[in-house]
Structure 1
Amino acid sequence: MRFFGKLVELGAALALFILVIMTIAAVFMRYFIGQPIQWTEEVSGLLMIWVVMLGGVVAERDRAHLTIPFVVDMLPHKVKRIIASLVAVLSIGLLVYMAWLGYRLAEMAQYKVTQILKVSWFWIDVAVPVGTLATAVYTLYWLINDVKQGDVGEEKQ
């Protein structure tokens, strides 16, 4: 899991780095040189979707997703454990369903191409199933890990 996590993090960081450099170059070319780079909007959209989806995976890996535990914190420990397990299982189900829908979307868009670069929309839309499946893998990993250690429902730092 460590290698997988680093690979996802590297992908997100690389996509974000390219997005920032490309945006700076596009602004410079448009406003200082007077020659806009035509393809930057398409590539920016593609990279932004990948940054968001891979960033979500990294957040799940680091357990950094936002939670609002004030209601659950008032419950007994045993009930907290049950609710935490149920939330994890429901999250995995939703993520897998979203991956399936995302793949169907990517499949339908595979012959549609972007206007300037002629890149298949498949490569843009496939970010959704990749990101949601990877997030589901980490959610399952944390659920199994917590059940083994007996600390399901405990707040993690």
Structure 2
Amino acid sequence: MHRLLDLLERLERGIDAVIQPAVFAAMAALIAVITLQIVSRVFFTAVGWTEEVARFLLVWITFLGATVAFRRGRHIAVTFVIDALPERLQRHARILAMVAGLAFLIALAVIGQRYMQAQSFQKSASLRLSMTWVYAVIPLSAVVMGSYALIDVIRLLVRGSPVASSVDDEGDSPS
């Protein structure tokens, strides 16, 4: 079981190693697009597609950034009830909370997939981009966060701790 967990943790780090630079690149692109929008409106004729691209980038940054935050345990959490429990019950409560979160993420992935398919006929106004690409981030991020939650549950069952034994390059714990 420890080997499986080690493999899953390597997979988790690999996925994060792809998502984190993608979020950074999308943020840089968002800054560039908004700067272009401002400059073109002030000095020239407004570039029509910049508002649409900025909106789509913000959607993708929000969802992919949520996966990065989820992996690092940076989402808001109220833990005073769990922290007040005896250590053995804390573990069970954490597992229960992670399973509930996993159930939500599975539902989000299914609903996001259905929504993505329902909007597949629609094209964006300026770019004529299929809205499938815009909405694809919803089920994608739900699946990624769900896999992180599943790895956390396995980690709790195997090691008794939701925190991985190794540390990220930035010094953050992976969960």
TM value normalised by structure 2: 0.83
**Structure 1 segment 11-90 matched on structure 2, within 5 A:** 11-31=22-42, 33-90=43-100
The count of aligned residue pairs is 154
Q: 2:95·2:156 contact (CA, 8 Å) conserved in 1?
A: no
Aligned: 1:103 with 2:113: yes
Q: 2:154 aligns with which of 128, 144, 156?
A: 144
Distance 1:81-1:43 versus aligned 2 partners, 3 A rule: same
After alignment, is 98-107 or 8-17 more displaced?
8-17
Q: 1:85·1:152 contact (CA, 8 Å) conserved in 2?
A: no
The alpha carbon displacement at 1:71 in A equals 2.0
- Paired letter, 1:50: W
Residue deviations 1:61-90, cap 9 Å, x none?
Answer: 222222121222111112211110001011
- Report the equivalent of 1:5: 16
Q: 2 CA distance for matches of 1:86 and 1:27? A: 48
Distance 1:43-1:152 versus aligned 2 partners, 3 A rule: closer
The alpha carbon displacement at 1:147 in A equals 1.9
Q: 2:123·2:130 contact (CA, 8 Å) conserved in 1?
A: yes
Q: 2 CA distance for matches of 1:35 and 1:152? A: 53
State the SS of the aligned residue for 2:127.
coil
Q: 1 CA distance for matches of 2:114 and 2:158? A: 35
Q: 2 CA distance for matches of 1:150 and 1:106? A: 38
5+ unaligned residues in a row in structure 2: which ranges? 1-10, 164-171
5+ unaligned residues in a row in structure 1: which ranges? none
The alpha carbon displacement at 1:152 in A equals 4.8
Identity of aligned residues (%): 24
